[in-house]
A = this chain, B = another copy of it.
């Protein structure tokens, strides 16, 4: 099982609003460098187009990360493909792949926020159609140097070549999904690996959707090894579970209260939070032992996962605590997971 981090580049953290945007982005780069150093498998950078974030151009950030790392896979988490031109997206990621010598990956999604839609003149009513068409084109470009294609949302290609070509062939493209059954079906039909974001509730609840993914994949004739599931979870690690929970809660509450204003959620209470930290809850927060157990429990509950990525930003933790968590993830969680999976054969085939 691969272990990694998915990160936003938030413009602020709760405790350190004085940190400049330059320092913030360079802290993020230091976190990626540290994750590489302690042997984590991947680092993903999110994409947002709003004042609270600094990550509207994740491939520029990942380009910088490529220059300072040597082993870690560098991914988007997620690329808001609906709002992008797949030609530009491929150009950006192929360039990243060349610079990083074959370490680029892309998680294509529709995005959680919808700011990109008005910014790029798109209609929310086309939310699904945009993603379907653009994903199809992106795959065509990945699989063919010269592309003949026409669609509704982008001018036709009449055999133009798209360059540069990446080191990896094919360039890894995952589909990032939330809870929409259509998204699981699409990823299965296309035979693409699935990155499931679970940010609340009980992880086991996603089992039927993930089964749908496998079923659609098999029905479409894709070999089992192409169908794999990665779990993107809100999570955090500290030396003790109490410390982890106490570190995480205040920022988590603030963040969900903020987003809740736009989406009609109530701010979470500490009781809600503690329930979500329970054995079946989606939040993977604790000391390294608890986190390892929980990942294995979640993996079993949803039919086996190929990778787990931690999204630690929701809590707006300062850089020093993120570095400590990355340290524990690389030095304790990742080796323990590998060992337990070998001993118990819990991994996916």
**Chain A interface residues toward B at CB < 8 A:** 11, 21-22, 25-26, 29, 49-51, 53-57, 59-68, 85, 87-88, 91-92, 94-96, 98-99, 101-102, 115, 118-122, 154-158, 160-165, 167
A163-B53 contact, Cβ under 8 Å, with A66-B64, A67-B65, A95-B61: yes
User: Which of A60, A62, A164: most chain B Cβ within 10 A?
Assistant: A60
A118-B57 contact, Cβ under 8 Å, with A67-B65, A68-B67: no
Residue in B60, B68, B154, B167 whose beta carbon sits within 8 Å of that of A59 in the complex: B60
Residue in B53, B54, B95, B101 whose beta carbon sits within 8 Å of that of A60 in the complex: B95
Residues of B within 8 A of A67 (CB): 29, 63-65, 67-68
- Closest B residue, CB atoms, query A165: B21
Residues of B within 8 A of A91 (CB): 49, 56-57
> Is A120 a contact of B65 with CB atoms below 8 Å?
no
> Is B54 a contact of A119 with CB atoms below 8 Å?
no
> Is A158 a contact of B57 with CB atoms below 8 Å?
no
Residues of B within 8 A of A55 (CB): 95
> Is A51 a contact of B161 with CB atoms below 8 Å?
yes
A54-B87 contact, Cβ under 8 Å, with A64-B64, A165-B21: no
A22-B59 contact, Cβ under 8 Å, with A68-B68, A118-B158: no
Q: Which 4 A-B pairs have the closest CB atoms?
A: A121-B155, A63-B63, A64-B67, A60-B63
Other A-B contacts than A22-B99, A54-B163, A87-B119, 4 sampled, CB-CB below 8 A, are A22-B98, A60-B92, A60-B96, A85-B120
Residues of B within 8 A of A21 (CB): 98, 164-165, 167
Residues of B within 8 A of A50 (CB): 161, 163
> Is B167 a contact of A22 with CB atoms below 8 Å?
yes
- Smallest CB–CB gap between A33 and chain B, Å? 9
Residue in B26, B99, B161 whose beta carbon sits within 8 Å of that of A64 in the complex: B99
- Smallest CB–CB gap between A130 and chain B, Å? 13
Residues of B within 8 A of A163 (CB): 11, 49-51, 53-54, 56
- Cα distance, A178 to B131, chains bound together (Å): 39
